[in-house]
Amino acid sequence: MKDRTKPIALLINQMSASTIWIVFLGGFLLLCLSSCCIKASDINGSRGTEHLFRHSHTIEISSLLPVDSCKPSSRGNKHGASASLEVVHRYGPCSKLSSHKPSHTEMLLQDQARVDSIQSRVKYESDRDRGPKRAVNLPAKSGSTIGSASFIVTVGFGKPIQPQSLIFDTGSDLTWIQCEPCEFCYEQQGPIFDPSKSTSYSDVACGSECDELASANGNAPVCRRSATSTNNLCYYYILYGDYSYSVGVFAKDELTLTRRDAVRNFPFGCGVDNEGLFGGSGGLLGLGMGKLSFVSQTADRYGKRFSYCLPSNPSSTGYLTFGRDGRTRTPKKYVRLLKNSEDQSFYFVMIEAIKVGRRRLSISPSVFREADTIIDSGTVVTRLPPAAYAALREAVERYLSRYPKAAPLSILDTCFDFNGHKRVKVPKVRLYFLGGAKVTLRFSGTFYVANASQVCLAFAGNQMPSDLAIVGSFQQTTFDVSYDVAGRKLGFAAGGCD
């Protein structure tokens, strides 16, 4: 048998010391790189190599296609939470609501109507606080447009329980549902709530509780005697930005979240005249900061804490949880909730900077200081000050210049045609908030997909620099977004749901 060690030894002897060192160093670096990849895989699971592309997303085009069947999120159940509800998209296959699904253009126009309504409402409050230096017209729209709000939870009203599917909205305070006998009601999926069948129902008489309605919906309540009561009852009315409305009696009843969580004497609107784009839901669950919101009314029980995860796909599910909850293992990044005298219902935050890929956008700090910013579950697409949006649009267009441009989609003016590509590479967008939090958006929180040939940047610019900026639901999807109202902070944790 030939001795194979001699040629190897001879080769080593003929190699220079520097050559040996290069070979050794190359092998060592290769080993280290392999080790790093293994460690990243251990931490991040299937996204193990994502650290190699920390400034971009690589997306399979096939993953953008819609799914017709319901696939509940594997991370969507809040085990051990105080009270947790399943969240579904009202037009998706997981929803029990059989209503007309609007086109992309219809939904985006409804979204713009909501934004116009919110901005008008905040501007009115701001002008009113400045005093009577100039005449101001009260906006006819006392509530935000609901047509674009997309997420539904199911709760129970009364004893025995009558289930109701409600739109939940962080931009509204008053909770209301349709009630029998209903004079003028829109078509609702499932039975309308019947107060006569509830042993725990009661009307609210005129007085201090009734007066709180003015702060909840911007309209003073009306007191009058009903045909079935000798007392003067409290009547509410709320008109939304798309001219949807609800009118009825201010009442109290037991509200059941889960089998273990029921809230007695919960104040709500019992609507007997309702009209609008409510998508077959029974009404609205108000999660704003005002006194009549569910958050404030249950402060003793849940400590003004709640969290939610909005699914990125209509075929998946998320959650809405009340009370302290430590389910998410991913560390939360906290944003400061700011006090704002112009409107006590909204959750105000401040964006300080935006990054696209590796590049921090050149936006003057004064741009974000001039415009207040809120985070809102009912607005779909994030609205930015004009200068900030222009910088974001330019950076994204430069990054995606290799792909053909597509026609604008309603209010979305920056669209691309990915048709014919198996996969695409897009930049990651990061939002930097006051308080030090950096939130890296997923692809689903950055781009609005109409189809493979029309994929649009899911941001829009405001008309005026001082117009209210809004962080919409699209940018919040898949995050565990936790509100600590008493502690005045807002937390983001990645991987809350799919």
Supply the residues annotated as catalytic: 169, 376
Closest Cα partner for 213 from 247, 242, 183? Answer: 247
Give the separation between CA 51 and CA 430, rounded to whole angstroms.
Answer: 15
- CA distance readout (Å), 467 to 336, 350, 367, 369, 372: 21, 14, 11, 11, 8
Give the separation between CA 411 and CA 423, rounded to whole angstroms.
Answer: 26
Apex 320 CA angle, 311 and 216, nearest 5: 115
Phi, psi dihedral angles at 393 (to 5 degrees): -60, -45
Please name the residue that has the structure tokens 């809230």.
263
Give the separation between CA 192 and CA 194, rounded to whole angstroms.
Answer: 6
Please name the residue that has the structure tokens 């050794």.
24
Evaluate whether 48 touches 40 at the Cβ level (below 8 Å): yes
Residue 267 token pair: 């104040």
Residue 287 token pair: 């999660």
The residues, ordered by sequence, that sit 6+ positions from 227 with a Cβ below 8 Å of its Cβ are: none
Output the CA torsion sign for 392, 394, 399, 403.
positive
Give the separation between CA 211 and CA 251, rounded to whole angstroms.
Answer: 13
Give the separation between CA 195 and CA 107, rounded to whole angstroms.
Answer: 33
